Structure 1
Amino acid sequence: MAKRSRRLVWIGWLGLALALGHDFASPNVQQRIERLKQSRESARQKKRQVLSKLRQVRSQQRAISEQIEEVERAAEQAQRELLRIQRNLAQTERELQRAEGELKALEARYQTYRRQVWQRLIAFYKSGHSGYLGVLLDVESFADFLNRLYFLQRLAAHDQKRLTGLRQAQRDILRLRGEIWGKRERLLSLQAEQRARQGTLRRQLAQKQRLMEAINRDRRMYEQSLAELEQTEREIEAMIRRLSRPLAPALRGSGRYVRPVNGPVVSRFGMRRHPILGGSRFHNGLDLAAPYGSPIRAVDHGCVLFAGWKGGFGLTVILDHGNGIQTLYGHCSSILVSSGQTVRRGQVIARVGSTGLSTGPHLHFTVYRNGQAVNPYQVMGAAP
């Protein structure tokens, strides 16, 4: 979208520049003023279109900026939630390790006490008693029997209570371990969800940032186009004001011409393949090669109609020599005259450069006669 818009603006700008070039050379001042007014209206129309596009782009920029802030806030919240889950997960892992340790300790205590009970029974057996019954029967009196019975009952109850308590503690810890494992699994699931959400948010943020970069490029392009169109409008208005003042007879050209630069002609008037835009296009002047900074001279007496930037011609000077003849000097590196100034034949008005649509230092030289670009040789003979 941005490339197509940039191309359309550029084509529109070139078209406007060419239209202005035609207007500089109208045979009748009033006609030239009318054409300039049409060009001004065209520039204003294009400016309105660019302003509309610029407002749309700025609105999109604000919307995307708000979306980026929203995604960034969500990403920060997701990061905080992930850190909280990771802290809980670390605490759960520690709880699980403690439960495992307690379970192993209880199992060891249970086995130790169980061995003690068996060792006691073995000791009874080795002493000649057949377990608890032998202890009860090997008595000398009934009182001794009752004492032994009471002792054995207390011992058995203690063993049973101790073993039952250890088993219950084991069951409690196993239940707690199961709860901790369940909590751990839930936290792991939440951690995976948060990481997946972070990945989604990162992709959304990257996509919106790329979109913002494209919108920023479009905005800069439209702002540059707007500045150029406003400059064009100001230049057209200045030319209209200048054309409203008739050219003094003393400033008219003599009809005797000098070469604008000392250099060979490298591209002639007529159809040619455009060196930058490609395709077969009409070349409305001559290209004369010369070193960068070489002096560019007025081919005859005249008045400066325009001195400034002119689209694809870059830095440009346009002279009015009267009698329907104007000359254009394009791609300058610097301009040494100003609009409205009078110049003499051979006066240095600019320096050779490569501004605008140019492949290297040279002078683009166009001659207009009664509003039409003509072959310079038809007007100037062998001068160029």
Structure 2
Amino acid sequence: MAANATARPVRGATGIVRLALFAFLLTGTAQAQEQVTPAQVKALKEEIEEINEWLSEAEEDRSELEQTLARTEKEISRLTRERRELQDRRRQQARELEALEQQEKDLDQNLQEQRSALKQQLRGAWMEGQAPAIKVLLNEANPQEIARTMTYYEYLSGDNLQRLETFNNTLAELETTRQRKLEAQAEVVRLEKEAEQRHQALQARKATREKTLASLEQDIAARQNQRSSLEADRERLEKLLKEVEEAIANIPSPTETEPFSKRRGGLAWPAEGRLVAAFGGSMAQGHLRRNGILVNTEEEAEIKAVHYGRVVFSNWLRGFGMMTIIDHGEGYMTLYGHSSSLLTSPGDWVRAGETIALAGRTGGTTDPAVYFELRHNGKPQNPTGWLKRR
């Protein structure tokens, strides 16, 4: 979507993946590491130095609006992730608070039962006290009766002491539980306040994003037409994918699950929503054909991996916004664009159905959506033939 769709920005976008994959090669499995030679590492380091030099020059060429948009959307991604983590912590704290409240209720009921039993026993002891033990000794009862009665008094006294001790222990435990409950309530309030602060900051960033996006769209409209913008975005993505394929050429393919090629017609959709743009559909007044599909969904809806694989790209790409690319082996890759927040990093292994991002409107879309693309040996495939019918 940028105005100056030159070779430089294309190389810059693909350069990002080299940086990510360099870390991926250094931190991958032992099997992958054994295939990385010193010469490859040296070549990658030289490439990184060259890319860093290019990045310094390219920043001067990129428009200020594009830089602002990229920073804002990355900030939105970070804030969304932090708010999600806070919400998870708050739910966990709420469950702990609920357990403490139930414990308090049980202890209070137990305490009431102990208090009632203790009162009853003390009342009985008091009633028996109207004829104290000394009177029993003075009675004309036989010695066996005297011994049995005195034993009863001793047992009654010891039982009272034990009940009092149990009562005091329960009372102390109840007080401790109530204190923990107060602390848990305070923590819930704190987490709610912090989550609200993140929410307000997120809304402010989104407002900034909308303003920046509007200005950027005006700037793009003034400098170039839709066809040249889409062609530049597609060229940038093609070069990115080529860089990815070259970088992972010697890395072992995933083997822990059923091969991707066996999953035709059985893959789950990457997100819930309505298909609004089909594969092969017309773009740019009929000059281009769509290489993927577009699914309209809810803001921050979960985007899930369609199959087991390894994340090879997780960053912002012009025209596609926050994007994730997963390598599934056998030459198959899936792409997920327009996310509001990325939840994985290059090198992460993901399972089928695992949440990898949250849906959004990055990369220039006006409504929350997920762009999904499937490639085999670099060539776009119709995803709907691989996804489950619905």
TM-score clears 0.5: no
Query: What TM-score range do you get, normalising by the shorter chain?
Result: 0.3 to 0.5
**TM-score, normalised on structure 1?**
0.39
**TM-score, normalised on structure 2?**
0.39
Q: Which has the larger radius of gyration?
A: 1
